Amino acid sequence: MEFVFDPKKKMDDFASRFDPDQRRRTNSINLFSPSKINLFLRVTAKRPDGYHDLASLFHVIDLGDRLKFTLGPGRKDALTSNARWVPLGKDNLVIKALDVFRAKTGIPQYFWIHLDKKVPTGAGLGGGSGNAATALWAANELTGRPASNAQLLEWSADIGSDVPVFFSRGAAYCTGRGEIVEDIQPPPVPLDTPMVLIKPRASCKTPAVFKKFSLERASSADPRELLRSITEHGIRQEFCVNDLEEPAFEVLPSLKRLKERISSGGRGKYSAVFMSGSGSTIVGVGDPEPPQFIYDEERYQDVFTEAAYFLTREEDEWYRPSRAMEAGYGAAESRSDLEVDVPTEGPLGTSFFERPESSRIQF
């Protein structure tokens, strides 16, 4: 679908597509930048372009960052962040997204952006990808909505495989390298399903995990069948297949043990325990609390844990944090200035995400 920007169209014409009583022009917008988990992830083929075809049930969740965008006067974006480890230049996924927006629409608009990070990186949670999707949405809102949702979804594939899914309504069956997005309406699972995210200090780099992947060792489960089973019977261990677990456990051997301990330590309170995306986050569905050993044992003191819930959005609106997360976020905001300098490289070429003391373990 070719985009034709009609410069003659006055901004006001676009404003009419806004809610009538919000005709006032705004020059800044505050948005929640959500993350996602993969309830199952089948890798079905190796592609000639070096990517892999996958078939995965993605669901947006209410763990997220905060982004503020303001129309800038100049010809350069200016990005600040609470997390000193986030790149602030052209390699930030927010800036990449704004560059794509300007290239596709021909609108030479630049922005001031502040990014308040909460989502760990190298986590399999699509944190940076969610930032990129949120940036495309913000740019479109602040320039009078020149692009449709379908166009933003199409353009987002140029930024990364995990970005397009955020332009679904929140639950989507994704194929291709992640850019073919099939909205699942209504969502296949109850939105108030509690889950806990547990991420060790060490992260997984997506390319390193895919490099270790081998098609011969992938599951033979039919992904459409997995989708049907989850929709009909709910989230059960046998449906939450992730073909990237084994390669991720090769990249990060301690992750396999952590997953096993969460399963056994959960004493049946989780209906399923699985790794999200390319890792390193382990998700326990059914209870918002990690197992007791995470609190008790010294070796898990630097583990990131967070309760999370599934999140959807209304047509024509962006994601809003759930009330639970909103309350939690308030506390987190005061934590965010506690962010500490994070080493960019760790063992196995991984990157670290260090979280402030008080946010690490929820008592």
Ligand X SMILES: Nc1ncnc2c1ncn2[C@@H]1O[C@H](COP(=O)(O)OP(=O)(O)OP(=O)(O)O)[C@@H](O)[C@H]1O
Question: Residue 305 burial (CB < 10 Å; 0-12/13-18/19+)?
Answer: buried
Cα separation values, 96 from 181, 204, 239, 245, Å:
21, 22, 35, 29
Question: Residue 316 burial (CB < 10 Å; 0-12/13-18/19+)?
Answer: exposed
Q: What angle do CA 246, 304, 68 make, to 5 degrees?
A: 110
Q: For ligand CDM, what does the binding mask look like between residues 253 and 292, x meaning CB under 6 A?
A: ------------------------xx--------------
Q: Which residue has the tokens 């592609």?
A: 47
Q: Which listed residue (62, 63, 82, 126) binds ligand X by CB under 6 A?
A: 126
Q: For ligand CDM, what does the binding mask look like between residues 124 and 143, x meaning CB under 6 A?
A: x----x--------------
- Residue 86 as a binder of ligand X (CB under 6 A): the answer is yes
**To which H or E segment does residue 162 belong?**
none
Q: Of ligand CDM, ligand X, none, which one does residue 339 interact with (CB within 5 to 8 Å by kind)?
A: none
Alpha-carbon gap, residue 128 to 35, rounded angstroms: 8
For residue 348, the minimal CB distance to ligand X (Å) is 14
Please give the structure tokens belonging to residue 319: 């994601």
Where in 258-297 is the site for ligand X (CB under 6 A)?
A: 277-278
Task: Look up 162 and say whether it is catalytic.
Answer: yes
Of 202-210, 246-254, 300-308, 326-334, which segment contacts ligand CDM by CB under 6 A? 202-210
- Residue 210 as a binder of ligand CDM (CB under 6 A): the answer is yes
For residue 80, the minimal CB distance to ligand X (Å) is 12
State the catalytic residue, choosing from 36, 96, 117, 259. Answer: 36
For residue 254, the minimal CB distance to ligand CDM (Å) is 20
Cα separation values, 311 from 10, 36, 55, 248, Å:
35, 9, 21, 26
Q: Of ligand X, ligand CDM, none, which one does residue 207 interact with (CB within 5 to 8 Å by kind)?
A: ligand CDM
Nearest to 36 by CA among 278, 286, 355, 268: 278
- Residue 87 as a binder of ligand X (CB under 6 A): the answer is yes
Task: Look up 96 and say whether it is catalytic.
Answer: no
Q: Of ligand CDM, ligand X, none, which one does residue 161 interact with (CB within 5 to 8 Å by kind)?
A: ligand CDM
Cα separation values, 70 from 286, 307, 339, Å:
39, 31, 24
Please give the structure tokens belonging to residue 327: 């309350």
Please give the structure tokens belonging to residue 159: 């930024």
Q: Which residue has the tokens 């390298």?
A: 177
Where in 66-85 is the site for ligand X (CB under 6 A)?
A: none
Alpha-carbon gap, residue 88 to 92, rounded angstroms: 6
Please give the structure tokens belonging to residue 163: 């970005």
Q: Which listed residue (127, 178, 265, 284) binds ligand X by CB under 6 A?
A: 127
- Residue 170 as a binder of ligand CDM (CB under 6 A): the answer is no
- Residue 42 as a binder of ligand CDM (CB under 6 A): the answer is no
Q: Which listed residue (121, 151, 168, 322) binds ligand X by CB under 6 A?
A: 121
- Backbone dihedral angles phi then psi of residue 114, each to the nearest 5 degrees: -120, 130
Pairing of strands 272-275, 171-175: unpaired
- Residues contributing to the site for ligand CDM (CB under 6 A): 38, 41, 51-52, 54, 124, 129, 160-162, 177-178, 206-207, 210, 277-278
Hey, which residues are catalytic here? 36, 162
- Contact residues for ligand X (CB under 6 A)? 86-87, 91-94, 115, 121-129, 131, 160, 162, 206, 277-278, 351
